[in-house]
Amino acid sequence: MNILIVGGAGYIGSHMVKMLSQVGHHVCVLDNLTTGFREQVKYGELVVGDLQDLSLMETLFKAGAFDAVMHFAANSLVGESVSNPAKYYRNNVANTLNLLDVMVRHNVKNFIFSSTAATFGEPEYVPIDEKHPQKPINPYGASKLIIERILQDYAQAYGLNSISLRYFNACGADPDGELGECHDPETHLIPLILQAASGRRKSITVFGRDYPTEDGTCVRDYIHIYDLCCAHAQALNALVEGGEQGASCFNLGNGAGYSVQQVLDVAEKVVAQDSCRVVVEEGERRAGDPAVLVADASLAMEELKWTPLYPDLETIIEHAWEWEKKLAGFKKAV
Ligand code: UDP
C-alpha cells in the first residue's frame, strides 16, 4: 500500500515507518520537524512540511494516491497544554481537521489516529476499558477527544473509516537498536532514568511518594513501542482488508501496572550490568498525575488480533538502555 505517515519523524511515527516499510509498503512521511528529527526517518521518503500548508497538502495528495493515512503529529505535553491551550487546539485539532478534509477531498478512506489515555481524565475504575467515561482534565486530552468525536461524524457523513488508538505509556526502543526515543525536552520517566544512568543528566526526581498505591508512587501501564506499532499495523489491516467500517477506538496497554519505584528498581538492575547507577531525588507530586492508569486492552486483542510481544518491563528497559547507550556514546561492551 501507499501510506502517508504524518509525524513520521517522531518517536512513535519513526518506528511505524520502519515496520511498514519492512513489510513492503511504500511510506511517505510528512513532518514539520518541530519535535521530530530528520535522522529518525530511515525508510521511505520525507516531505518536510506542515498541516497548515493547504497547497502543499493538495499537491501531496494529488501525487500520492494514498491508500491510508496514519497521524502521529501532535503536541503531547500535558503541562504545556495547560499553560498554552491555543497551541494544542490549533495543532492537534485545527491542523488535524485540515488533514481530514484533504483526505475527504481526495477520497482517501482509511485513517489511523494516535489518541491517548488522557482522554479519560481521572480514572473512575481500573483497568480502563473503552466504556470508561471520557472526561479529560487537560487541553491535551481534550484536543484528542475532540478529534475522536469528529471522526465519528466524518465516518457518518463522508464514509471516512478510522481507528483511534488510545496509548497508555509508550516506551522502549526498536529491538534492532536502530531507532529509539528522542524528545527535547525529555519528560518521560524511563528515558529520564536512563539518561541519569548514562551520565547525560545528574539525577531523576520521583514526583511524589504519597499516592494511594502500594509503595506510594504512581502506577502506569508501560507498552513497548514495537508492540504499539504492531497494533497500528493490525488496525490498518482491519480497516483495509477486514473492512472495518465507521470510527472505532481501542485502548493500548499491557494491562499490567508498574509503580515509579518498580520502574526504578528494574532500570537499576539493567544499568548495573554496565556498572552504571541512578541518582534518585525526591520531589513533589506533578500536577495532573492520576495515582493509577492501567489499560484494559482486551478489545484490541480480540478485535485487532493483537498480542504484545514484549510485555515484560525488563525487556522494555533493556531495549531503551541499548538506545540510550548509543546516544550517550558508550563504547560497545566487549
Ligand atoms: N515521573 C517521575 N519523575 C519524572 C518523570 C515522570 O516520577 O521525572 C512519574 C510521573 O509522575 C508518572 C510516571 O512517572 O507517574 C510516568 O510519567 P511519564 O511522564 O513518563 O508519562 P505519563 O504517565 O505522564 O504519560
- Asked if residue 220 has its Cβ within 6 Å of ligand 1, the reply is yes
Nearest residue (CA) to ligand 1, atom 12: 218
For residue 177, tell me if it sits in a domain: no
CB neighbourhood size of 89 (10 A): 16
> Contact, 88 vs 77, CB < 8 A?
no
Q: Tell me the CA–centroid distance for residue 132 and ligand 1, in Å.
A: 22
| Residue 214 within a domain | no
- CB 206 less than 6 A from any atom of ligand 1: yes
Q: What pLDDT score does 213 carry?
A: 97
Q: 138 CB under 6 A from ligand 1?
A: no
Is 187 near ligand 1, meaning CB less than 6 Å away? yes
Instruction: Determine the pLDDT at residue 163.
Output: 98
Domain with residue 124: its CATH number is: 3.40.50.720
Print the domain residue range for 159.
2-171+224-252
For residue 131, being part of any structural domain is answered with yes
Pocket of ligand 1 contains residue 192 by CB under 6 Å: yes
Count: domains in the chain: 1
Tell me if 203 CB under 6 Å of ligand 1: no
Q: Does the pLDDT value for residue 221 go beyond 70?
A: yes
- For residue 105, being part of any structural domain is answered with yes
What is the whole-number distance in angstroms between the Cα of residue 286 and the centre of ligand 1? 8
> What share of the chain in percent tops pLDDT 70?
99
Report the nearest-CA residue for atom 16 of ligand 1: 189
Give pLDDT, residue 242. 79
pLDDT band at 305 (very low <50, low <70, confident <90, very high): very high
The stretch 51-57 carries a mean pLDDT of 97
pLDDT digits (tens, 9 = 90+) for 224-276: 999 999 999 999 999 998 778 899 999 999 999 999 999 999 999 999 999 99
Q: Which residues pair with 165 in a beta bridge?
A: 114, 250
Q: What is the mean pLDDT of residues 27-37?
A: 97
Is 183 inside any structural domain?
no
Per-residue pLDDT at 333 exceeds 50:
no
Q: How confident is the model at residue 35 (pLDDT cuts 50, 70, 90)?
A: very high
Residue 331 above 70 pLDDT?
A: no
Mean pLDDT calculated for residue range 81-109: 97
Q: Report which ligand 1 atom has the smallest distance to the Cα of 118.
A: 25
Residue 278 lies in a domain: no
**250 CA → ligand 1 middle, Å:** 23
Q: Given a cut of 80, is residue 320 above it in pLDDT? A: yes
Q: Is residue 319 included in any domain, yes or no?
A: no
Percent of the chain topping pLDDT 90: 94
152 alpha carbon – ligand 1 mean position (Å): 31
Q: Is the pLDDT of residue 309 over 50?
A: yes
What is the residue with the minimal CA distance to atom 11 of ligand 1?
207
Backbone angles phi, psi at 213, to 5 degrees: -125, 175
Quickly state the pLDDT bin for 334 (edges 50, 70, 90): very low
Which residues form the catalytic set?
140
> What local confidence, expressed as pLDDT, does residue 151 receive?
98
Confidence class for position 288, pLDDT limits 50, 70, 90: confident
Residue 188 in any domain: the answer is no
Q: Is the pLDDT of residue 3 over 70?
A: yes
